[in-house]
Structure 1
Amino acid sequence: MTQTGLSIAVIGGGIGGLAAALSLRQAGFGVQLYEQAAALGAIGAGIQISPNGARILHRLGIAAALAPHGVRPVAVHQRRWDDGRTLQRAPLGDAVEAAFGAPYYHFHRADLIAALAGALPADSLRTGHRLVDAVDKGDRVEARFDNGTRITADILIGADGIHSRVREVLFGAEKPRFTGCVAYRGLVPAERLAQLDLEVTANNWMGPAGHLVHYFVSGGRLVNFVAVREADSWTRESWTDRAETGEALRLFEGWHPQVRAIIGAVDETFKWALFDRDPLPRWSAGRIALLGDACHPMLPFMAQGAVQSIEDGAALAACLAQSGGDAPAALTRYEALRKPRATRLQEMSRHNKIRFHLPDGSRQQERDALLQSSGDRSLAAIGWLYAHDAGALGEQAA
């Protein structure tokens, strides 16, 4: 690896921050990653990584580390909530890999984070560092952490998630809106569901005021589910609030027996509110820029949140590698390339919240007919998303 001379501080040790640190190191930059937690963890459970993210992960050299844990679903299966009727079934698996040169994966977040962290040199990661402040001095950035540490870097990247301190430093406090949806998540040992003979697919059950997604993770040992229902109010935005299994079952009363069997088999379940945020006018200022959920948080209805953060890191590294040392210009270019695509996916995710939850009636019937006839998940239709290579700056950003 050739050292370019630029030093980069990445704030946040989630999927986006780790992937960005690896992409930047691969491009030859000196990188230090700072995580506020005492150890890297994995809030949440399952995560989907489509080919536009998987090709970057493979390029980072972690394909072998991912192989024992990743599940490669054969299809995405959208179904009706009560009778299980197929509304749409689209290929994944070998067909997607042949078309786009990279697989579609399901992971447990902990497995993906471990693979990313394992590829990063230990001396590049600092845990127990909560950012307090960052100041752009024109020729450098100075940052201060709550443990008293002070650092200086040529560039600072905020990959510190939906509650980003870096975003607050740059643009002030945000005002997220409650979407009216609460999600319940859980992991079930696969053997408990053997009687269901589940396919290795990404399943989405759509019904009035709710939907449920389930798929295998951890090499097929666990079934991950996320069950979303509409609710009147909520005050907290957290991934770690515990819920009673009976609560989730009551909310899915009358749904297909397979849906209820999956929920009922879990040992513990967690719930969190889904909040929405409008796209930011800007992602960067001078030598400081944002990445991933810090700048484009999106509802989980396109399964692209983590993938887009991985794309961000690859594009950022490529922009900086071509910058000739002009860091602010590189960050401006990164934002210009990435923002249209991320905003498009934010808007599509927001639209799917409505589309997935239509009450039975004429609009639901129109949706179902369109799903069955349009092929909007065909290889040709999804190519704009899956074929994109964020590290190839000649591509169109959208």
Structure 2
Amino acid sequence: MTARTTAAPRIAVLGGGIGGLATAAFLRREGLDSTVYEQAPRLAEVGAGLVVAPNAARQLRRLGVLDAFRDRAVRLDTGWEFRRWQDGTVLSSENLADSCERLYGEQTYTAHRADLLAALQSRVPAGSVRLGHECVGLDTAGEAYTLRFADGSTAGADVVIGADGVHSVVRDTLFGAAPATYSGLCAFRALVPAPSAPEFARRPAQTLWIGPDHHLVHYPVSGGDLVNLVAFAPAGAYTTESWTATATVEEFLAEFAGWDPRLTGLIRAAGTPGRWALLDRDPLTHWSEGGVTLLGDAAHPMFPFFAQGAAQAIEDAAVLAGCLARGLDDPAAALRRYEGLRVPRTTRLQTVSHGRAHVNHLPDGTEQRARDTAYAQEDPLLANGWIYEYDPEAELDRMAAAR
């Protein structure tokens, strides 16, 4: 950690999820203390699996937690294994084992969200996390900010970081409550115990089954003990945007009726699926006002079709901490620099993620056949190099040189 002689601001981080804990961890790496306020009574990441691509793995290494994370993560040998919905024909696949580290210096992993959260939490002092603190308001008048909590308590801060998710209180305070638009899509998620899953789903591979109006992704997590499923389908009238909402296995199966029996057999082995609506939000052009800013889903919620939601929150955390550490004399200016570095990249990812749904969900026909041919000829590891080669420290160095 870097020693500091300038008096540090009081930094409040709202949200104890991946983005909030990553922020606290990177701030601590820079020698800055923070307090994380989390509404839940304990730190536990809901949901199931996620992909940790090289750009995120690079930051876990910087925090010194990658080795511990890998104890429960699964290193992928194969990625972007696209399969045809009807019979499982492999349309394309990428050999990550041979290429990923050579190109980007890190491997790609899949993991349960709770295992990533635990790795980040290991770099945050327990005393700096305040559980059971649901923020219901933020007062921005005066030289310092006041956080108001549901239990009637308050806390003061000089810098407030809203890592409080898609329903962010901080975002609503800064920019007003902007209702999301209806995307017409919903997602299902589920976990299957490995002994109940077929061999093809237990492999260290990220597999995407694509078909008319639907697609489903599966990969192993939790050291291979579980297989994570996440699927996308027309939402109908369903508009609930919550990680705790559930469906039934029968509802999940009904969406994939007529698909390859191996896939429907995998769904049938799942426990109670989660279900949530994918609501659409336009990218924000700026995230900060004075000493208050946004991070992760609070700033740039994106469709999960490039598996970059958690990774972008971790990148945000690294850049924000670096900007603050280099600009303690003027935190508001530091937050503007953070925003300036991050908005173009996250807006681009929001845009490309949005467009992927149409491509994956084409009905059988001329467009679908052209897509399948393009997938067979594409090298997604190279094509998405702009995502995986990104290095926050290089961005910060370029910013410093420009100043």
- Secondary structure of 2:351's partner? helix
Equivalent of 2:188 in 181, 184, 188 = 184
Q: Deviations over 1:230-285 (max 9, x none)?
A: 13222321122221111211210111122112101112212111111100122010
Q: Does 1:159 align with 2:156?
A: no
Aligned to 2:86: 82
Query: Which position in structure 1 is the counterpart of 2:290?
Result: 286
* Distance of 2:202 and 2:127 partners within structure 1: 43
The count of aligned residue pairs is: 394
Query: Is the Cα contact below 8 Å between 2:202 and 2:227 reproduced in 1?
Result: no
Unaligned ranges ≥5, structure 2 = none
Structure 1 residue 287 displacement after superposition: 0.4
* Structure 1 residue 138 displacement after superposition: 5.5
Shift, 1:10, TM fit? 0.4
Distance in 2 of aligned mates of 1:201 and 1:169 = 42
Aligned counterparts of 2:293 and 2:305: Cα–Cα separation in 1: 26
In structure 2, C-alpha distance between the alignment counterparts of 1:358 and 1:130, rounded to whole Å: 42
Q: Deviations over 1:318-369 (max 9, x none)?
A: 1112214211111111111100000000001100011110111111111111
Summarize the alignment of residues 188-337 of structure 1 with structure 2, pairs less than 5 Å apart. 188-196=192-200, 198-337=202-341
Alignment-mate amino acid for residue 336 of structure 1: G
Counterpart of 1:57 in structure 2 is: 60
State the 1:194 CA deviation: 4.2
Residue 126 of structure 1 pairs with residue 125 of structure 2: no
Moved more, 155-164 or 85-94: 85-94
| Counterpart contact for 2:172–2:178, Cα < 8 Å | yes
Partner of 2:140: 136
Q: Distance in 1 between matches of 2:177 and 2:165?
A: 14
The ranges of structure 1 where at least 4 consecutive aligned residues each deviate by more than 6 angstroms after the TM superposition are: none
Give the letter for the 2:20 counterpart.
G
Per the alignment, do residues 259 and 311 of structure 1 end up closer, same or farther by CA in structure 2, a change over 3 Å counting? Answer: same
One-letter code of the match for 1:345? L
Is 1:30 aligned to 2:43, yes or no?
Answer: no
- The structural deviation recorded for 1:202 is 0.5
How far apart are the structure 1 equivalents of 2:275 and 2:148? 33
Asked if the contact 1:81/1:207 (under 8 Å) is kept, the reply is yes
The answer to whether the Cα contact below 8 Å between 2:187 and 2:233 also exists between their aligned partners in 1 is yes
Question: 1:290 and 1:152 mapped to 2: Cα distance?
Answer: 18
- Match among 30, 39, 42 for residue 39 of structure 1: 42
Amino acid at match of 2:100: V
Shift of 1:98: 2.5
* SS at structure 2 position matched to 1:107: strand
Are residues 1:385 and 2:374 paired? no
Find the counterpart in structure 1 of residue 18 from structure 2: 15
Q: Which amino acid aligns with 2:131?
A: T
- What is the aligned-residue identity percentage? 47
Task: Please tell me whether the aligned partners of residues 162 and 293 of structure 2 are also in contact (alpha carbons under 8 angstroms).
Answer: yes
Residue 9 and residue 181 in structure 1: after superposition, are their counterparts in 2 closer, same or farther (change >3 A)? Answer: same
Matched residue SS, 1:243 = coil
Distance, in Å, in 2 between the alignment partners of 1:117 and 1:214 is: 26
Of 355, 363, 369, 2:367 maps to 363
Which piece of structure 1 moves more, 360-369 or 345-354? 360-369
Is contact 1:138–1:287 with CA below 8 Å preserved after alignment?
A: no
Is the CA contact (8 Å cut-off) linking 1:24 and 1:317 kept in structure 2? yes
Aligned residue for 2:384, secondary structure, equals helix
Q: Post-superposition shift, 1:137?
A: 4.3
Q: What is the distance in 2 between the residues matched to 1:204 and 1:197?
A: 11
Does the 8 A contact of 2:76 with 2:107 survive in 1? no
Amino acid at match of 2:43: L
Aligned partners of 2:172, 2:334: CA distance in 1, in Å? 22
Q: Residues of 2 paired with 1:354 and 1:395: CA distance? A: 36
Conserved 8 A contact 1:186-1:269: yes
Q: Is there any run of 5+ residues in structure 1 with no aligned partner, and where? A: none
Give the AA of the match of 2:393. G
Task: Check conservation: 1:71, 1:216, Cα contact below 8 A.
Answer: yes
String of CA shifts for 1:293-324, please: whole Å, max 9, x gaps: 00100011110011000000000011112214
Q: Which deviates the most, 177-186 or 134-143?
A: 134-143
SS in 1 for 2:151: coil
Q: How far did 1:395 drift?
A: 5.5
- Displacement of 1:127 in angstroms is 0.6
Q: Do the aligned residues in 1 keep the contact of 2:73 with 2:111 (CA within 8 Å)? A: yes
Query: Match of 1:254, as an amino acid?
Result: G
Residues 389 and 395, structure 1, Cα contact 8 Å, conserved in 2: no
Moved more, 257-266 or 293-302: 257-266
Distance 1:251 1:333 in 2: 45
- Report the aligned-residue RMSD: 1.6
Cα distance in 1 for partners of 2:235, 2:273 equals: 17
Contact 1:70 1:107 in 2 (8 A): yes
- Whole-Å separation in 2 of the counterparts to 1:133 and 1:249: 42
> C-alpha separation between the residues in 2 aligned to 1:122 and 1:374?
46
SS at match of 1:283: coil
